[in-house]
Each structure stands twice: as structure tokens, then as C-alpha cells.
Structure 1
Amino acid sequence: MVRVNSDLLVYVNKLYEAGSCKYFTVQDYQPKEKVIRQAKRVLSVYIIKSGIAKCYLSEDNGKDFIQEFFSEGEIFGEIEAINGQISFCAIEAITNLQVFQIKNEDFHELLKSDRKFNDLILKAIANKVRYKALRHGYNQSHAIEDNLMRLINEFPNLLLQISKQDIANYLGITIRSLNRTLNEMKAKGLTGGG
């Protein structure tokens, strides 16, 4: 649900703190502030130092589909940096967000010169693909209550840190369906919130 990448965060932190890597700067974003806008040119790659962000696609019918929630160590903007295309999703801070930012040209240089960094980026991209396939398969083959219980089990602070609208957009359901399911779960004693 809320993805983390501890290995990448530890390595980038090490590079940054040692001062041996001139590439990274640290940037702060407030809740609801967009880091990347959909269908825009992306000039940097970002690795989350702290906080939670959402990656979403706004459809032409005005609805948002949340692809993923990112937290510590997760990377975004790397696909656009690699393929040179505009962003297909937006990234927005949910909580106070602090990121390591690296310009695209520096990202490419680091990929070529630092084997460990390159390996960690390849692993991060592979994990994104794997996670999406597993998540979509699970969501399609299970009821809303099962999907919601899975999210709450994976992320106990779900209802405290992520809005109901974002949860509904992540599950691909309406807010009404989400509220109905939460009320049914509360009546069964499965969750204390609603």
C-alpha cells in the first residue's frame, strides 16, 4: 500500500551525508503540493527522504486513479528521465514531504558511474512493475472489504493519514462504496474507524 525502499534510501543518504555526491539537493513540500504535474516535462528525479506522496492519473472524466502511495526511499521521475517523455502521472505530497532531488543529467551520469546506484534503480523499477501486477490482480479478484482489510493490515494508520477519497481512488471505487464498506466492517467489529 504505502511503498518504501529502505536500501535505496540508505545508499542515497550515505552519498549525501558523505558529501561525495554533488548531485543531490534536499527539497521540502507541503501537503497537497504537487512535486510532478501530469503531462508535463520532468527535469529531475526524486527519492523520498521522509513523508508520504501519492502517484495518480487524472482521467478525462475528472476522476483520479491513484497508482501508488510512496514513502521513504521510493523513487519517482526516473521513468521520465530514462525515456525522455513527459509525465503520465502526477505526484502530490500527502504529508509533509522531504525529497532528495537529482537533475536528469546528473541521474544519468550517476547511473553510468556508480554500479551500486544503477543496481538499486533497476531493482526499484522491477519492484514497481511486480507490485502493480500483484496489486491489480488482488484488487480485481477480491471484494472491497477484503481489499480494505488488506490495506489496513499493511498500513494500520491508513484511515488517519490518507483521506477516504484517496483510499477510494486507490481501490477504484466510489467514496459511497468505501463508506458503506467501512460501516459494515465497523458493525462486524473489524475496524474502529469509519
Structure 2
Amino acid sequence: MLRTNTAFLQFVEQLFEDKQAGNAIQLKSFAAGAHLIRQGSIISQVYIIREGITKCYIAEDNGKDYIFEFLGTGEITGELEAINKGACLSNITALTPVTVFTIPHNRFMALLRSYPEFNELLLKVLAARIYQTCIRTSYQQLYPVEYALLRLLSLEASQQTFFSKKDMAAYLGISVRSFNRTLKDLREKNILDKEGLNIDLSKEQLEQMIKRFEDA
């Protein structure tokens, strides 16, 4: 749900501290709600999140958003555009105040050629995205919305983050109306508290319920 990458961030911070290797790397801040990247635009920099949370999403022609992922500390964005030299595939918007490292495209490509460790870290990022996308697609296709929402809420609680209903619905690929209907069903079953989005079960009870969905 919220992706982070400590190893990638540590390597970029080391480059930033190296005056020769990191001479083109800069720090930049964005307020909550600001766009780091706009879908369809042409950018000239790669961004590595140092602090804060963003969402990566596609805006459809019908006005609806589809959220691919929430990105946190150490995650990289804009690397595909640097490699493919094309327009941005998605939007990246700050959900909290965000600080990023920026690397110009030409310097980013030079770092990939010069530092095998940097190259390997990026390959691991891309491989992890494919793996996580496959896992997410499978549970959205195979299990009911209740299961996906419980997984989402349990992850939100464990990571101590907060996302709006609209963003959670967009992440699950459903309408806000369907999202609210699912919340109502879970409250009627005494799984969620009556007012908020807190799971009203012990950790053991929640694990047993999720397992029942998976074994069904």
C-alpha cells in the first residue's frame, strides 16, 4: 500500500554528500496537494522522496482517478520518463508536505552507467513494482471488496498513515458509493467501529477473518 525504499534513499544520500558525484542533485520541497509530476507532461528530472507521502495515479477522461500506489520515503518517480524519453504516464501528487532529491535526466543516466550498485537498486525497484502489482491484481480479482478493504485498513493502521475515502476507493478501483456501502456492511457485522474506520477486532481475529476469505 505505502511503498518505501530505505536502501535506495541511503545510496542517493551518499551521492548527495559526495560533492563530485552529487553536484547535480538538489533538494526540493512541495506542499501537501502540490503536483510533482503531471500526466502527459514532459519533465527533465527524476525525483527520490526523502520525506513525506505521495500518490501515483492516472486521471481518466471521465474525471475518475485510479491510484496505482502510495509512495513514501526512498521511492523514485520519473525514472521511466528519463529512460524512455517520453511524456509522463501518471500524476504524482503530495498527500503530505514532501521533500525530494531531484536528479536531471542526463545525470541520472550517467549515474546508471557509472555506478553498478545504483543500477542494481533501480532494477530491484522495478522488479518489486511488477511483483506488487501482480499480488494486488490477484486479490482484487479473486476476492470480494470486503477482503481488499480489510487488507487496506489493516495496512493503514500498521503503517500509521491516513488516507481519504476517495483515495482508498480509487486505490481499490471502486466508486465512493461502493466504498461507503462496503463500510456499512462491515459495520453491520461489527468488524468496523460505528463512526470511524478502525477495525473493531483483535489482531488474531482479523488474521482469522482474512484467512477465511483466502481459503474460501
| Structure with larger Rg | 2
For 1:164-175, what aligned pairs fall within 5 Å after superposition?
A: 164-175=165-176
Range with greater deviation from structure 2 (18-27 or 129-138): 18-27
Q: Is the 8 A contact 1:151 1:158 kept in 2?
A: no
**TM-fit CA distance, 1:187:** 3.4
For 1:6-155, what aligned pairs fall within 5 Å after superposition?
A: 6-19=6-19, 20-155=21-156
Q: Is the 8 A contact 1:152 1:158 kept in 2?
A: no
CA distance in 1, matches of 2:124, 2:158: 27
**TM-fit CA distance, 1:157:** 6.8
Which structure has the higher relative contact order (CA within 8 Å, separation 6+)? Answer: 1
Q: 1:9 to 1:31 in 2, by over 3 A?
A: same
**How many residue pairs align between the two structures?**
194
Q: Is the 8 A contact 1:54 1:70 kept in 2?
A: yes
Letter in 1 for 2:45: S
Q: Is the 8 A contact 2:156 2:162 kept in 1?
A: no
CA distance in 2, matches of 1:144, 1:41: 36
CA displacement 1:54-113 (0-9 Å, x = unmatched): 111111111111111100111110011001110110110011111111010010011011
Q: 1:61 to 1:135 in 2, by over 3 A?
A: same
Letter in 1 for 2:157: P
For 1:148-163, what aligned pairs fall within 5 Å after superposition?
A: 148-156=149-157, 161-163=162-164
Secondary structure in 1 matching 2:157: coil
Secondary structure in 2 matching 1:146: helix
Q: 1:178 to 1:159 in 2, by over 3 A?
A: farther
Unaligned runs of 5+ in 2: 198-216
**TM-fit CA distance, 1:189:** 3.3
State the TM-score, normalized to the length of structure 2: 0.84
CA distance in 1, matches of 2:94, 2:192: 26
Q: Is the 8 A contact 2:8 2:121 kept in 1?
A: yes
> Following TM superposition, where does structure 1 have runs of at least 4 consecutive aligned residues deviating by more than 4 angstroms?
157-160
CA RMSD between the two structures: 1.7
**TM-fit CA distance, 1:3:** 0.7
Match of 1:4 in 2: 4
Identity %: 39
CA distance in 1, matches of 2:58, 2:107: 27
Secondary structure in 2 matching 1:95: coil
CA distance in 2, matches of 1:38, 1:71: 19
CA distance in 1, matches of 2:159, 2:179: 13
Secondary structure in 2 matching 1:161: coil
**TM-fit CA distance, 1:18:** 4.3
CA distance in 2, matches of 1:80, 1:190: 43
Q: Is the 8 A contact 2:27 2:101 kept in 1?
A: yes
**TM-fit CA distance, 1:118:** 0.9
CA distance in 2, matches of 1:109, 1:189: 56
Secondary structure in 1 matching 2:109: helix
Secondary structure in 1 matching 2:67: strand
